[in-house]
Amino acid sequence: MRPISSSEDALRLGRILAELVPNEAEVHGLVALMEIQASRSRARVGPRGESILLLDQEPGRWDQLLIRRGLAALQRAAELGGGLGPCGLQAAIAACHARALTAEETDWKRIASLYDALAQLMPSPIVELNGAIAAAMAFGPTAGLALIHRLASEPPLEAYHLLPSVRGDSLFKLGRFAEAQAEFERAATLTHARERELLLDRARGCSGALAGLA
Protein backbone atom coordinates (compact mmCIF):
# COMPACT_ATOMS: atom_id res chain seq x y z
CA MET A 1 0.00 0.00 0.00
CA ARG A 2 1.36 3.44 -0.97
CA PRO A 3 1.85 5.70 2.07
CA ILE A 4 -0.33 8.80 2.19
CA SER A 5 1.71 12.00 1.89
CA SER A 6 1.21 15.01 4.13
CA SER A 7 -0.08 16.91 1.08
CA GLU A 8 -2.74 14.29 0.40
CA ASP A 9 -3.72 14.25 4.06
CA ALA A 10 -4.07 18.05 4.08
CA LEU A 11 -6.22 17.90 0.94
CA ARG A 12 -8.46 15.26 2.49
CA LEU A 13 -8.95 17.34 5.63
CA GLY A 14 -9.59 20.46 3.56
CA ARG A 15 -12.30 18.72 1.53
CA ILE A 16 -13.94 17.46 4.71
CA LEU A 17 -13.89 20.97 6.19
CA ALA A 18 -15.49 22.39 3.03
CA GLU A 19 -18.30 19.86 3.38
CA LEU A 20 -18.80 20.79 7.05
CA VAL A 21 -18.96 24.56 6.38
CA PRO A 22 -20.19 24.79 2.77
CA ASN A 23 -21.02 28.49 2.99
CA GLU A 24 -17.56 29.67 4.07
CA ALA A 25 -15.95 31.16 0.96
CA GLU A 26 -12.45 31.29 2.41
CA VAL A 27 -12.53 27.57 3.21
CA HIS A 28 -13.30 26.84 -0.45
CA GLY A 29 -10.53 29.26 -1.38
CA LEU A 30 -8.10 27.34 0.82
CA VAL A 31 -9.12 24.03 -0.74
CA ALA A 32 -8.76 25.54 -4.22
CA LEU A 33 -5.26 26.74 -3.38
CA MET A 34 -4.19 23.36 -2.00
CA GLU A 35 -5.65 21.45 -4.96
CA ILE A 36 -3.93 23.59 -7.58
CA GLN A 37 -0.61 23.72 -5.75
CA ALA A 38 -0.66 19.94 -5.29
CA SER A 39 -1.31 19.49 -9.01
CA ARG A 40 2.25 20.62 -9.76
CA SER A 41 4.09 18.35 -7.33
CA ARG A 42 5.42 15.96 -10.01
CA ALA A 43 6.70 18.83 -12.17
CA ARG A 44 8.61 20.72 -9.47
CA VAL A 45 11.64 18.41 -9.34
CA GLY A 46 13.77 17.17 -12.24
CA PRO A 47 15.29 13.69 -12.74
CA ARG A 48 18.44 14.62 -10.79
CA GLY A 49 16.48 16.14 -7.92
CA GLU A 50 16.99 19.68 -9.17
CA SER A 51 14.29 22.31 -8.58
CA ILE A 52 12.28 23.36 -11.62
CA LEU A 53 10.84 26.85 -11.54
CA LEU A 54 7.16 27.29 -12.30
CA LEU A 55 7.80 28.96 -15.67
CA ASP A 56 10.07 26.08 -16.70
CA GLN A 57 7.71 23.29 -15.67
CA GLU A 58 5.95 21.12 -18.22
CA PRO A 59 2.18 21.74 -17.88
CA GLY A 60 1.64 18.25 -19.26
CA ARG A 61 2.97 16.90 -15.97
CA TRP A 62 0.44 18.82 -13.89
CA ASP A 63 -2.41 16.73 -12.46
CA GLN A 64 -5.47 17.85 -14.41
CA LEU A 65 -7.93 16.22 -12.00
CA LEU A 66 -6.55 18.27 -9.11
CA ILE A 67 -6.65 21.40 -11.27
CA ARG A 68 -10.31 20.80 -12.12
CA ARG A 69 -11.11 20.26 -8.45
CA GLY A 70 -9.24 23.44 -7.56
CA LEU A 71 -11.01 25.53 -10.18
CA ALA A 72 -14.39 24.17 -9.03
CA ALA A 73 -13.60 25.09 -5.42
CA LEU A 74 -12.49 28.57 -6.50
CA GLN A 75 -15.73 29.05 -8.44
CA ARG A 76 -17.68 28.01 -5.36
CA ALA A 77 -15.79 30.58 -3.27
CA ALA A 78 -16.57 33.31 -5.80
CA GLU A 79 -20.25 32.32 -6.02
CA LEU A 80 -20.67 32.77 -2.26
CA GLY A 81 -19.99 36.49 -2.72
CA GLY A 82 -18.37 38.99 -0.42
CA GLY A 83 -15.09 39.03 -2.36
CA LEU A 84 -12.18 36.62 -2.14
CA GLY A 85 -10.09 36.47 1.02
CA PRO A 86 -6.31 35.87 1.19
CA CYS A 87 -6.60 32.15 0.40
CA GLY A 88 -9.08 32.79 -2.40
CA LEU A 89 -6.84 35.43 -3.98
CA GLN A 90 -3.83 33.12 -3.84
CA ALA A 91 -5.95 30.39 -5.41
CA ALA A 92 -7.02 32.80 -8.16
CA ILE A 93 -3.34 33.53 -8.87
CA ALA A 94 -2.58 29.81 -9.01
CA ALA A 95 -5.58 29.34 -11.31
CA CYS A 96 -4.14 31.83 -13.81
CA HIS A 97 -1.09 29.61 -14.12
CA ALA A 98 -3.16 26.43 -14.25
CA ARG A 99 -5.33 27.72 -17.10
CA ALA A 100 -2.36 28.72 -19.27
CA LEU A 101 -0.74 26.14 -21.52
CA THR A 102 2.51 28.14 -21.65
CA ALA A 103 4.15 30.96 -19.68
CA GLU A 104 3.46 33.28 -22.62
CA GLU A 105 -0.28 32.58 -22.40
CA THR A 106 -0.41 33.42 -18.70
CA ASP A 107 -2.58 36.43 -17.84
CA TRP A 108 0.17 38.33 -16.04
CA LYS A 109 -1.79 41.57 -15.83
CA ARG A 110 -4.53 39.80 -13.89
CA ILE A 111 -1.95 38.15 -11.66
CA ALA A 112 -0.38 41.54 -10.94
CA SER A 113 -3.79 42.98 -10.02
CA LEU A 114 -4.53 39.98 -7.79
CA TYR A 115 -1.24 40.51 -5.95
CA ASP A 116 -2.18 44.17 -5.46
CA ALA A 117 -5.46 43.04 -3.89
CA LEU A 118 -3.66 40.44 -1.76
CA ALA A 119 -1.21 43.07 -0.50
CA GLN A 120 -4.16 45.15 0.71
CA LEU A 121 -5.53 42.24 2.76
CA MET A 122 -2.23 40.68 3.80
CA PRO A 123 0.58 43.27 3.70
CA SER A 124 3.93 41.53 3.34
CA PRO A 125 7.25 42.18 1.56
CA ILE A 126 7.03 38.63 0.15
CA VAL A 127 3.63 39.36 -1.36
CA GLU A 128 4.96 42.62 -2.80
CA LEU A 129 7.99 40.83 -4.25
CA ASN A 130 5.75 38.30 -5.96
CA GLY A 131 3.70 41.22 -7.23
CA ALA A 132 6.88 42.76 -8.65
CA ILE A 133 7.61 39.51 -10.49
CA ALA A 134 4.14 39.60 -12.01
CA ALA A 135 4.55 43.27 -12.92
CA ALA A 136 7.84 42.51 -14.67
CA MET A 137 6.13 39.79 -16.70
CA ALA A 138 3.11 41.97 -17.48
CA PHE A 139 4.71 45.36 -18.08
CA GLY A 140 8.38 44.63 -18.71
CA PRO A 141 11.60 44.22 -16.69
CA THR A 142 12.05 47.96 -16.11
CA ALA A 143 8.73 48.12 -14.27
CA GLY A 144 9.69 45.08 -12.22
CA LEU A 145 13.08 46.55 -11.29
CA ALA A 146 11.49 49.76 -10.04
CA LEU A 147 9.28 47.80 -7.66
CA ILE A 148 12.10 45.50 -6.57
CA HIS A 149 14.34 48.48 -5.82
CA ARG A 150 11.79 49.76 -3.31
CA LEU A 151 11.79 46.39 -1.55
CA ALA A 152 15.57 46.01 -1.27
CA SER A 153 15.72 47.62 2.19
CA GLU A 154 12.96 45.46 3.70
CA PRO A 155 14.53 43.43 6.58
CA PRO A 156 12.61 40.20 5.80
CA LEU A 157 14.10 40.20 2.28
CA GLU A 158 17.73 40.95 3.13
CA ALA A 159 18.68 37.27 3.24
CA TYR A 160 15.94 36.00 0.93
CA HIS A 161 17.44 34.48 -2.21
CA LEU A 162 14.44 35.30 -4.39
CA LEU A 163 15.10 39.06 -4.23
CA PRO A 164 18.51 39.02 -6.00
CA SER A 165 17.30 36.18 -8.22
CA VAL A 166 14.34 38.23 -9.47
CA ARG A 167 16.51 41.30 -9.85
CA GLY A 168 19.02 39.23 -11.82
CA ASP A 169 16.29 37.98 -14.14
CA SER A 170 15.11 41.52 -14.91
CA LEU A 171 18.68 42.74 -15.44
CA PHE A 172 19.36 39.82 -17.79
CA LYS A 173 16.30 40.68 -19.88
CA LEU A 174 17.58 44.26 -20.12
CA GLY A 175 20.95 43.06 -21.40
CA ARG A 176 22.80 44.11 -18.23
CA PHE A 177 24.57 40.75 -18.01
CA ALA A 178 27.42 41.59 -15.62
CA GLU A 179 24.97 43.00 -13.06
CA ALA A 180 22.66 40.03 -13.56
CA GLN A 181 25.51 37.59 -13.00
CA ALA A 182 26.41 39.25 -9.71
CA GLU A 183 22.78 39.04 -8.55
CA PHE A 184 22.46 35.35 -9.44
CA GLU A 185 25.74 34.56 -7.67
CA ARG A 186 24.56 36.44 -4.57
CA ALA A 187 21.24 34.59 -4.66
CA ALA A 188 23.12 31.28 -4.85
CA THR A 189 24.88 32.04 -1.55
CA LEU A 190 21.54 32.53 0.19
CA THR A 191 19.83 29.24 -0.60
CA HIS A 192 20.21 25.48 -0.23
CA ALA A 193 22.14 23.17 -2.55
CA ARG A 194 19.27 22.18 -4.86
CA GLU A 195 18.37 25.76 -5.81
CA ARG A 196 21.98 26.95 -5.58
CA GLU A 197 22.96 24.96 -8.66
CA LEU A 198 20.03 26.35 -10.60
CA LEU A 199 21.09 29.91 -9.75
CA LEU A 200 24.73 29.24 -10.60
CA ASP A 201 23.57 27.94 -13.97
CA ARG A 202 21.81 31.28 -14.49
CA ALA A 203 25.03 33.09 -13.53
CA ARG A 204 27.01 31.00 -16.03
CA GLY A 205 24.42 31.91 -18.65
CA CYS A 206 25.23 35.56 -18.04
CA SER A 207 28.92 34.83 -18.59
CA GLY A 208 28.05 33.22 -21.91
CA ALA A 209 25.98 36.22 -22.92
CA LEU A 210 28.84 38.57 -22.03
CA ALA A 211 31.25 36.46 -24.08
CA GLY A 212 28.86 36.76 -27.02
CA LEU A 213 29.07 40.54 -26.76
CA ALA A 214 32.87 40.60 -26.73
Residue 124's alpha-carbon distances to 73, 79, 91, in angstroms, are: 26, 28, 17
Query: What's the pLDDT tens digit per position in 130-182?
Result: 999 999 999 999 999 999 999 988 999 989 999 999 999 999 999 999 999 99
Query: What's the pLDDT tens digit per position in 89-132?
Result: 999 999 999 999 877 889 999 999 999 999 999 999 999 999 99
pLDDT band at 3 (very low <50, low <70, confident <90, very high): very low
Question: Taking a C-beta distance cutoff of 8 angstroms, is the pair 108, 138 a contact?
Answer: yes
Residue 117's Cβ-count burial label (10 Å; 0-12, 13-18, 19+) is middle
DSSP state of 103: G
pLDDT at 214: 57
Question: At CA 193, angle to CA 9 and CA 171, rounded to 5?
Answer: 105
Backbone angles phi, psi at 154, to 5 degrees: -70, 120
- Region class of 82: left (phi > 0), else alpha (psi between -120 and 50), else beta: left
pLDDT at 5: 61
Query: What's the pLDDT tens digit per position in 38-94?
Result: 999 999 888 877 778 888 888 889 999 999 999 999 999 999 988 999 999 999 999
The candidate with the shortest Cα–Cα distance to 161, out of 145, 142, 144, 185, is 185
Predicted structure pTM score: 0.88
